[in-house]
Structure 1
C-alpha cells in the first residue's frame, strides 16, 4: 500500500468516526434495510461463520447475527473507533457476535476462517478494491460466499445538492467514492476469477421530516466528506444553497423521500 493509499484510508476512517454518533440515528433506518437485503441475498444459514468488513454501527452485522444464530459466529470489523464502540453496544447481548477494530481492506484472520464475507457499501471507499477482494478470498473457505453492495442509483436530489454546493468547495468538484462501481462491468472486472457471480438490484425509500432533517442527515454519513470541505464561515450559505436545491423534492406536508437503488453482488470462492 502506498503512502497516499494509507492517508486516504485514514481520512475515510476519521470521517466516519466523526459521523458515528449520529450515523443511522437521526431519521430512522436508511442503511439497515439495505443490510438485511444483503444478508438475505447472501443466503447465510444458521451456524455459518460470517465476517462483516467495514461494519459501521452494525446495519449488516445485526442481520448477519440473526441469520447465523447462536450456533454460528458473526464478526464485524471497522477502522472507526466510534463505530466499533456503538456496534459493540448494539450486540452486547449476543455472545456469538463480536466486533473489533480492523481494516476492511486487509482483514487479519487465518485462511479459510469464514463461510461468508459481507461488505455493505464499503468497496468503493477502499484504495485498492482488487487487493481487498484477494484478502476476502483468502479468509473465505473454498466454496464460501462473498456478498457486497454498491449504489446502482442514488436519488437525483443528492447529486443536485452536491452540484449546487460545488462552487463553495476549494479546488472545485470532488470525486465521490460512492460513484465508483455503479455498473456491472466495473464490478465484474474485479471478480473475473470468482464463481457464480450474480447481481441483483433492490430499491429503498427513506422518509425525512423535511429540509432540516435531511441536512442533519447529510452530516451523519459519507456526504460529510463533501460538507467538511466547505469553509466554516460559509456553512450558513451552504445550508441555504442546499435547501434551495431540495425544493423540488419537498412534498405537500414538507417531507422529503429519498429513493435509493442498491446493487447486491454475490460470488463464490472457487473450490
Structure 2
C-alpha cells in the first residue's frame, strides 16, 4: 500500500473531528500522562504578558489555555488546526482566544508572533521542514518556538506494546513512508529538523512522565478506541485469530509494567525543544 500524503491528511482530519471530545476529556483536557508536558512546554517558551502567541495544531486547546493564562491585556493568542471538531472545543476553553481552521502546511497568516507553540503534531506533518520554515518566517526577530513530541518506541511503551505486535502480524497496515508517532523521538532527530528549518540555539530537554493504563483489558479497550481508532477496522478485518495473536503478544509485553494491584503503569518519554530565529 503506497503512502498518499493527501489521503493521509484527509483521514487525519476525519479522525480528529470524530474523536476530539474523547481526546480532550480523556487526555489533553485532563492533563493525563504525556499531557503533563503542557505546562513544561509553555514554561519553556518564556511567554511575556504582551506577547503575540501562535499555537500550531492547537487541537482542543490545552496548550492555548495554558499560554493564555500567561498573557496580559496587550497580549494575543491565535490557535490554528485543521479539524473543526477540535477547534470547537478549543473555543469553549479559551473564549478570548482567536481560533482559525487552517492547515499548518498551508498557513495563511500575516501577523508576526513572539512565540510559536506546537505540541504533539510536528511528527505527523508530511513535510515538517517546510512547516517549520514557514513558522520561522512568522516569528519576530528573536522570537522563540517551543515544540513537544513523544519519545522513541522504547520510551513510550503505551504505543509500542500494542503497535509492535500489530505491525508484526499485519506489516502492510501502515503505508511505507507514512509519518509515525516516534518520528522525532530521538533528541538528535528533533534538533536536526529544527536546524534544517533555519532555527538557532536549539535546546532539547527530556521529561519522563507516567501513565496509569488500568488493567490490560482496560488498556486494550482504550487503545483500540482512541489511538488505534483509524486502523481498528483493518485490524479486525484480519480475523479473530490475528486479533487474538496481537492481543496475546501485547499482554505478554505489558507484564513488565504491571504493578502489584494488577494495573499497568507505563513510563512516557516526552521531548521539549526550544529554538530561536536567526538574525538576518
TM range (shorter): 0.7 to 0.9
Q: Is the 8 A contact 1:79 1:103 kept in 2?
A: yes
| Other structure's SS at 2:126 match | coil
| Other structure's SS at 1:76 match | strand
In 2, Cα distance between equivalents of 1:143 and 1:221: 39
Shift of 1:220: 5.9
Match of 2:260?
Answer: 252
Match of 2:119?
Answer: 120
| Other structure's SS at 1:205 match | strand
Shift of 1:159: 1.3
In 2, Cα distance between equivalents of 1:124 and 1:255: 30
Match of 2:209?
Answer: 204
Q: Gapped runs of 5+ residues in structure 1? A: none
| Other structure's SS at 1:178 match | coil
Q: How many residues align?
A: 265
Which residue of 174, 184, 194 corresponds with 2:199? 194
Q: Deviations over 1:134-191 (max 9, x none)?
A: 1101211111111101223433353121122235537256666112112233233323
Q: Is the 8 A contact 2:165 2:246 kept in 1?
A: no
- Greater shift, 205-214 or 256-265, is seen at 205-214
In 2, Cα distance between equivalents of 1:172 and 1:10: 17
Q: Cα distance 1:176–1:230, how it changes in 2: closer, same or farther (>3 A)?
A: farther
Taking structure 2 as the reference length, the TM-score comes to 0.83
Q: Gapped runs of 5+ residues in structure 2? A: none
Shift of 1:26: 2.9
Which residue of 63, 76, 99 corresponds with 2:79? 76
Alignment of 1:18-37 (within 5 A): 18-26=18-26, 28=30, 29-37=32-40
Alignment of 1:1-271 (within 5 A): 4-26=4-26, 28=30, 29-92=32-95, 95=96, 97-110=97-110, 113-153=112-152, 154-169=155-170, 171=172, 177-192=180-195, 193-219=198-224, 221-232=226-237, 234=239, 237=244, 240-241=247-248, 242-271=250-279
In 1, Cα distance between equivalents of 2:168 and 2:18: 25
| Other structure's SS at 1:146 match | strand
